Structure 1
C-alpha cells in the first residue's frame, strides 16, 4: 500500500514538473507587451501593432498587446506576470520597478535624435487666459483636466512645477478637476469641455499629424523642463536569451537590415526615431522630483507639529542622499 502511494506520489510530482516545463515553454512562446493608455486603445493598437508583428516574426515568439484603462492596470499586469514587458512613463516605471519585479532596459529616442519630451498645459485658442498664472488666479471658475496619477508628464511634473511650487492644491483650487489620458485632455480643451488641461508634447505631436484642425484649437500656456524619454521595461525573471533578443530588436529597429526603411516609417507614426539601451538610472531624476514635491507639501503643512515635520523632512533628505549616491 505504501509502495503504491509512493509510486502515485512520484508520478504526481513528475506530472507537475512536466506541466511546469510546458508552462515555461508556453511562456517563452508567447509574451504580452503592456501599452500605457496615453490615447485611445484604437489609436495605440494602430500604431504599435505593426511593430509587435515585426517583433513576433523576428523573435519567433508571439507578442500580444496588453491594454488597460489606466496606467495602474499595466503595472498590476506586470506584477502578476500577465505582462512580461511594457512601454511605461518614468513615474509608472518606478512603480513597476518597486512593486512588479521590473527593470528598465531601453528608452525611446525622438525622431530628431533627442531623448526627452515636455509636459504642457493648454487652453482653447479663444481663451482669455494667456499664462499659467492667469489660470491659477482664476482657478475657482475653471474646469481643469489632469492626467493619470501614475503619469509623469500628465500628473507628477505639473504637480511639482505648477502646483507644489505655487502652494496650490488642484483638487480644491479649481471648480472641477477631471483625470483623463493625454488625448482625451487635448480633445476636451479643443471642444471647450474643460478650460485648461495637462498633456504631453509627444501626444500633441501625434494629434497634429492626425487631426491638425483639432490641435489648432489649442494654445499652450505652460511648458515644463525637459523630461527623460519614456522607458521600456521587462520583468527581471524573463529568460536571459529572451531578454537579449528583445533588447536587440528594439535597439536595431528601423536602423539596419532590408526592412529598415519600412520600420523607420512605422516609428514615425509613433513620432519616434528609435530606441536606445537604458537602465533604472534614468528614473533617478523622477524619484528626486517625487521627493521634492513631497518636501514642499510637508513644509507647507500648518497642521503638522514641528517635530513631526522635522522627522519627515529628515527622512526625505536621507532618501534624496541615497538616490544621489546610487
Structure 2
C-alpha cells in the first residue's frame, strides 16, 4: 500500500515548527530568529515543505510572508500535531516520574489576581513537586499559544462562546468598575456623570481587547469622546503603579481593587460592562494529569468567589 505523502518520511517535525513560526512571526527573518537558525536554513526548509505538499503555503512580499489558504490550513494542522507531541512528552514524563508533572497556564488580567493564585496555592499544598508555569499575554496571543500546544489552558475573561477549536467554561461572574488611588480627589466624591471624569488621565486596555471596545461603546452611549489623556496598558503591575502614583482612572475587574488598601472603586456604574471569568481549553486534546489537577483546584476556588454561579460551558 502506498503511504500518504506526509508519512513517506520526507516531512519532519522541524517543518511543522517552521510553519508555526512563519505564521506567527509573519516573516522568514522573524521565524529564523525565533528558531535560532539562519535565514537560508529557514528558506530552504520552507521550500522543502511546499515541495512535499505541492502547494504554495505563503505569499512572499516586501514586508514578509502571508499565509495562503493552504498555509492557514496547514498551520492549523501543524499546531495540532505539535500540541499532541508536547502533551505526549509531558504525559510520559509524569508516568515515568521524571518531572513529577508540569502544567502550563496562560492568564490575563481577569482571574490572575485571585482565582489563579489561590488555585495554585491549593494545588502546591497537595502536590508540592508539581510544577506550574504561568504565562501572561493578551487573550488573542494566548489563544495562539493554546492552539500550538504551548499552554494547557487559559484562565481569564471569556469573550466568546465555545467553538470547534476550544471549550470555554464559566466559573464566576465579575463586574468592571472604575478604580483610582485611595487618596484620589474623586475617591470621596459622588460622581454621577461620565463627563465629570473625562478630563482626568485614564489607563485603558489595548485596542485589541474586548473591554476596550466595550468602553468605547460606553463613552459613545454617553455622547462623549474617549479620553485624550491616556495610557494603554494590560499589565496589572504597571497599571497599579500608575494608579497609586497619579490621578489616573482605570476600568478594571472589581475583585482587583477589593483587597488593595491603596486602591478604591468609584461608585459609578459601568453597566452593562461586565464579564464571565473562566477556563478555556483546546477541544479534542486531552489534558494531562497535572493540568486536570489544576482545573480541579480552579473549580474549587471559584465556588467561593463573589458572583459565583453554576459552572457551564459557554456553548450554551
Task: Normalising by structure 1, report the TM-score.
Answer: 0.53
Partner of 1:296: none
Q: Deviations over 1:220-266 (max 9, x none)?
A: 43343473431211101212896995698258636xxxxxxxxx9xx
Q: Residue 87 of structure 1 aligns with which residue?
A: 155
Q: 1:143 aligns with which of 194, 201, 215?
A: 201
Q: Report the Cα distance in structure 2 between the residues aligned to 1:76 and 1:127, rounded to whole angstroms.
A: 42
RMSD, aligned CA: 4.7
Q: Which has the larger share of helix? A: 1
Q: Does 2:107 match 1:35? A: yes
Q: For residue 191 of structure 2, what is the aligned residue in structure 1?
A: 131
The question of 1:239 aligning with 2:239 is answered no
| 2:121 equivalent among 50, 71, 74 | 50
Given that 1:186 and 1:197 are in contact with CA atoms closer than 8 Å, whether structure 2 keeps it comes out as no
Q: Is residue 180–residue 247 contact of structure 2 (8 Å, CA) maintained in 1?
A: no
Shift in Å, 1:107? 2.4
Cα deviation for residue 143 of structure 1 reads 1.4
Structure 1 residues 158, 101: closer, same or farther in 2, change over 3 A? same
Partner residue in 1 for 2:243 = 189
Residue in structure 2 matched with residue 277 of structure 1 by the alignment: 311
- Tell me the residue number matched to 1:163: 219
**Take 1:126 and 1:156, find their aligned partners in 2: how far apart are those partners?**
26
Change (3 A) 1:46 1:203: same
Post-superposition offset of 1:38: 4.7
Distance in 2 between residues matched to 1:275 and 1:65, nearest whole Å: 28
Aligned residues: 230
Unaligned runs of 5+ in 2: 14-80, 95-101
The answer as to whether partners of 1:251 and 1:274 remain within 8 angstroms in 2 is no
Which of 224, 231, 236 is matched with 2:271 structurally?
224
Aligned-pair CA distance for 1:71: 3.4
C-alpha spacing 1:273/1:179, structure 2 compared with 1 (3 Å): closer
Query: Secondary structure of the equivalent of 1:83?
Result: coil
1:292 matched residue in structure 2: none
Cα distance between partner residues in 2 of 1:132 and 1:149: 27
Counterpart of 2:50 in structure 1 is: none
Distance in 2 between residues matched to 1:250 and 1:40, nearest whole Å: 14
What's the counterpart of residue 101 of structure 1? 165
Q: Does 1:179 align with 2:238?
A: no
* Aligned counterpart, 1:313: none
CA change 1:240–1:119 in 2 (3 A) is: closer
Task: Give the drift of 1:119.
Answer: 0.9
* Contact kept? 1:183, 1:203, Cα under 8 Å: no
Q: Secondary structure at the match of 1:49?
A: helix
Q: Does the 8 Å contact 1:163/1:169 carry over to 2?
A: yes
Gapped regions of structure 1 (runs ≥ 5): 1-5, 110-115, 255-263, 283-326
Q: 1:78 to 1:102 in 2, by over 3 A?
A: same
1:85 positional shift? 1.4
